[in-house]
Structure 1
Amino acid sequence: MSSIGFKLLRYYLYDRLKWQKKIKTDKTLPVYERLYDSLLLYQESSTRYFTVFDLETTGFYPAIGDEVISIGAVKVDLIEGRILEKSFYRIVRPIKKVPRFVRQLTGLSIDEIRAGWTFIEAFEEFLSFSKGTTLVAHPVKFDVCFLQNLIQRWGLPDYLPPYLDSEALAKELFPRSNPQLDSLIRKLNIDRHERHHALNDAKMTAELLLVMFHKLDMIDGHDEEIRQRIARDNLVFGRK
């Protein structure tokens, strides 16, 4: 049996019951009600401010039990062409035990994970941090879809943020280059931080985003001009 097949079998025979029990408990907490209300209140996004974020997860398949174990994010001011000082980082305590290879990859210890936030607590904080901005990730589809899947599992309102895919933009601007983050930061001489740390990856992606916006001559422009350029070039993807 393949590893995916084993994971699927384990989920339906055992892990699904743990999820159902955890979600049932979470729905009784005040944070659940606050998060529910926050998701109902749509906030118009900004073409000046971008929240560049990254998730570290236990795998690629949230539908069969993979989870978020950390969220990191920074904000970019496109008008000033800089990363804002305030950042966001939360370690998330998952429902299931984190595999050893994932802990080794991310550098997270068992004690750090045990002391982490619950997913809905961490996501409520992330939602507040990113309020009114456009999300960016590399690639964005994985991270946004992962969050959307978990939000749906908790029975919360749809999470439909506007977002920009920095990997897709890199493919357009550097068509002959490998679009993966490691390759791009080497090519563009971006300071390298320890990888597979959610905040570090978010910071490097933000630096990459600024380089690409400079290449598009979008730095130091006016807010309305940038808004028109983004709309014309379809840089920000719709809510999905």
Structure 2
Amino acid sequence: MYAIIDLETTGGQPAQDRITEIAIFIHDGEKVVDQYETLLNPGRSIPFFITQLTGITDDMVRDAPKFHEVARKVVEMTEGCVFVAHNVRFDYSFLKKEFADLGYNYSRKTLCTVRLSRSLMPGQPSYSLGKLCQNIGIPLNGRHRAAGDAAATAILFDRLLKISQQDEALRNPTISTADTLAAVDATAPSGRRPVTGAEDAVTTKQPSARKIKAVQEAIKTALLPANITPAKMSTLPHSAGVYYFHNEAGEVIYVGKSINIYKRILQHFAIDYKSRKSIEFKNSISDITWELTGSELVALLYESHEIKRLKPLYNRAQRRSVFPAGIFLRTDENGYKRLYYGRADDHAESHPLIALGNQYKAKGFLFHKVAKFNLCQKLCDLYKTAGSCFDYQVHRCNGACIGLEPADEYNARVEQAIESFTYEHGSFVVIGKGRSELEKTVVLVENGRYLGFAYVDETFSARNINDFKEVITRYNDNKDVQQIIRQYLRTKHKDKVKLFKTTTA
């Protein structure tokens, strides 16, 4: 059984918009056997542009039932049915959100007639419901009203079933001639019957809609973007690496990483999209490419690099590629270690302990560390005074600012603060899995600075850090990669970490 559903809503974001109308047509695989439609009171005003599109006004829904009043009806009608819609993710996401607000997990198998149409009727100039129905001669009365769109989708679905039955019959000689020709006649232009080559087939039972391969495939792939085929998905590797989503123009719109690219991309497509932008994102995906890394750490680092290089539209995090400010360290004439913030250009003689996006962020970062590790604001250049700092006056500073706290006690807390955002060791290399059994990866950090990574033969050996420096590809060091490496080294990874003595410039 199939529940063909169309909704009208107050907007395109399930997280904040509501349903104003619902129509359900129950199809048994041969014909529509039941239907239900109603306006719904969304509990909020309908935007003017939505009223212009649908014709549904606030007055029309004022006395209509609210969703919770029809929820049981929707559950009962669609129980055991495949949820069918044109661009199914939109309608399905809205219904799931409405049910979730009631504390109910609404879950159905889904089938998208956009995807099924692309598969069974390739070459159409458009697969939007209105233009597709116009091009193949399906009447669409009441466009952008739930009942009108659902009725047209039901006719389209019936047409697609017959096309798929025809295809099954041509592949399967046990299907009856009469049923085959009936299916063909139903899809052919009036007055013409295509030559099927099946007139001599052995007569037997017509395939049920449940067993039609195209329909089953459409159910399995309903969650995929319209332009991503099952064949494309089958090529995705089950290995670690970086993957790229491209739009129709071939532009990279998203970069991701995973230890299993295939499974991660399936997760992308399985989630419920709750905003217009997320729905647009999914619908924009027209191709997927990838680069294998073998190593999870290299995948994390390379993803960060590619996001900064390409600045994809749908990657919000890690897009910053310039880090002009940072936190620095010096020791004063009294032996106190002093953290301070500043522009990286102003301290060219020393590399920052951590690079940050601007001085405002660097100052805020340092204030946080001062509070967490009970450091002195004056010694961190956050409080300008000739005497004690403000924190000493309110008993939050132990008096390092006026020499009351011994330098070694104060410096121990400075080191704790530094350890919270720097590496445990100054110079080291992380040796991990490669892209094959004959390869391994190396990630190099020298004097607290990330230098890059390399793929090397499994027989590669190095006597000192310079041997590693000769084989790596150089990449920029910044706050994001520092955090990636620190967090990775704190996990239960299986990589080998080789330490080197910290050198001086």
TM-score for both structures, normalised by structure 2:
0.35
CA contact (8 A) 2:84 2:111 kept: yes
Of 2, 9, 14, 1:62 maps to 14
Q: 1:131 — aligned with what?
A: 79
2:98 paired with 1:180: no
Greater fraction of residues in strand: 2
Residue among 124, 149, 163 paired with 2:110: 163
CA–CA distance in 2 between the matches of 1:129 and 1:214? 24
SS class of match (2:165): coil
Identify the residue that residue 56 of structure 2 maps to in structure 1: 108
Task: Name the SS of the counterpart of 1:95 in structure 2.
Answer: coil
Query: Does 2:165 align with 1:213?
Result: no
Alpha-carbon distance in 2 for matches of 1:129, 1:227:
18
Larger radius of gyration: 2
How far has the Cα of 1:132 moved from its partner?
2.0
Partner of 2:140: 192
Query: Could you tell me how far 1:174 is from its partner in structure 2?
Result: 2.2
Aligned: 1:229 with 2:212: yes
Distance 2:210 2:162 in 1: 15
Letter aligned with residue 219 of structure 2? V
- List alignment gaps of at least 5 residues for structure 1: 1-48
Matched, 1:148 2:93: no
- Measured against aligned partners, the alpha-carbon deviations of 1:149-184 in whole angstroms (never above 9, x if no partner) come to 232233x23211011111110111222111111121
Report the AA paired with residue 32 of structure 2.
Answer: I
Shift of the alpha carbon at 1:230?
4.1
User: What residue identity is the alignment partner of 1:235?
Assistant: A
The one-letter amino acid paired with 1:203 is A
User: 1 CA distance for matches of 2:159 and 2:140?
Assistant: 15
Contact between 1:58 and 1:66, CA under 8 Å: does it hold in 2?
A: yes
SS at match of 2:32: strand
- Partners of 1:188 and 1:142 lie apart in 2 by 24
Moved over 6 A (4+): none
Does the CA contact (< 8 Å) of 2:164 and 2:215 recur in 1? no
Q: For 1:164 and 1:77, locate their aligned partners in 2 and report how far apart those are by CA, in whole Å.
A: 14
Aligned 8 A contact 2:11 2:17 in 1: yes
Aligned equivalents of 1:92, 1:232: Cα separation in 2: 31
C-alpha offsets along residues 66-117 of structure 1, whole Å, 9 cap, x if unaligned? Answer: 1111101111121xx2222x32111111121111222232222333210111
Partner of 1:89: 37
Aligned residues: 185
**CA distance in structure 2 between the aligned counterparts of 1:166 and 1:134, rounded to whole angstroms:** 12
1:112–1:104 distance in 2 versus 1, CA, 3 Å: same
Q: Among the aligned pairs, what percent are the same residue?
A: 26
TM superposition shift of 1:121 = 1.4
- The SS at the match of 1:93 is coil
Residue in 1 aligned with 2:4?
52
In the alignment, which residue of structure 2 is the partner of 1:72?
Answer: 23
For residue 96 of structure 1, give the secondary structure of its aligned residue in structure 2.
coil
Backbone CA RMSD of aligned residues: 2.2
CA distance in structure 2 between the aligned counterparts of 1:233 and 1:112, rounded to whole angstroms: 39
CA distance in 1, matches of 2:207, 2:155: 21
Give the structure, 1 or 2, with the largest relative contact order (CA under 8 Å, sep 6 or more).
1
The answer for unaligned runs of 5 or more in structure 2 is: 167-182, 184-204, 224-269, 271-505
Name the amino acid aligned to 1:236.
I
Aligned amino acid, residue 62 of structure 1: P
Report the Cα offset of residue 231 of structure 1: 8.4
* Equivalent pair of 1:230/1:236 in contact (CA under 8 Å): no
Q: Which has the higher helix share?
A: 1
CA distance in 2, matches of 1:55, 1:128: 17
Amino acid at match of 2:17: D
- Partners in 2 of 1:175 and 1:231 — Cα distance? 13
Aligned partners of 1:167 and 1:179 also within 8 Å = yes
What SS does the corresponding residue of 2:119 show, helix, strand or coil? helix
User: What letter corresponds to residue 175 of structure 1 in structure 2?
Assistant: P
Distance in 1 (alpha carbons) for counterparts of 2:20 and 2:130: 21
